[in-house]
Structure 1
């Protein structure tokens, strides 16, 4: 697992190349009827996230810039593994390569 980095502000973090900074959706800790769920039921990360920032893209074999396929504000589907965790205050974010993102969620 990658080392966890800590930053004072998420605005100070600008992804490079084809990296995408996301914040995973938080699991509900209480049901609609007010029952609190145990930590073991909410421990696994949810596969959905919001894109916070993206890098400019990566160069292809011909040296042309290929932009990332998502933009800030997009909702995406992530794999259950991977990404580099980044802590900003009490909030946790993750950096993924653009190619690791499974899908963009259309609304």
Structure 2
């Protein structure tokens, strides 16, 4: 495949839209580390609100990247798991993480309150 062909590929742009939304990368990275419960996800991603986490998980479910698993026990336990499609993002997420470690200065990641 020629890079010039893929640079303007609608599928490529759609993929970037899906995983490039605010908080989505952080949620995916946490899930790749086997964080599966809502409260755990919220606690390992600082600044992520319940509403935003709910929204991102729903979007990832609609894309077939995450599945919601309900365990019929008392109390009911709900987990979010990466599907095969989601697990295939492993190399993408970690390549981006390595790139960020190298090229994004720490001070650029802190936001004024």
> Which of structures 1 and 2 has the larger relative contact order (alpha carbons within 8 angstroms, sep 6+)?
1
More helix by share: 2
Instruction: State the TM-score, normalizing by the size of structure 1.
Output: 0.23
More strand by share: 1
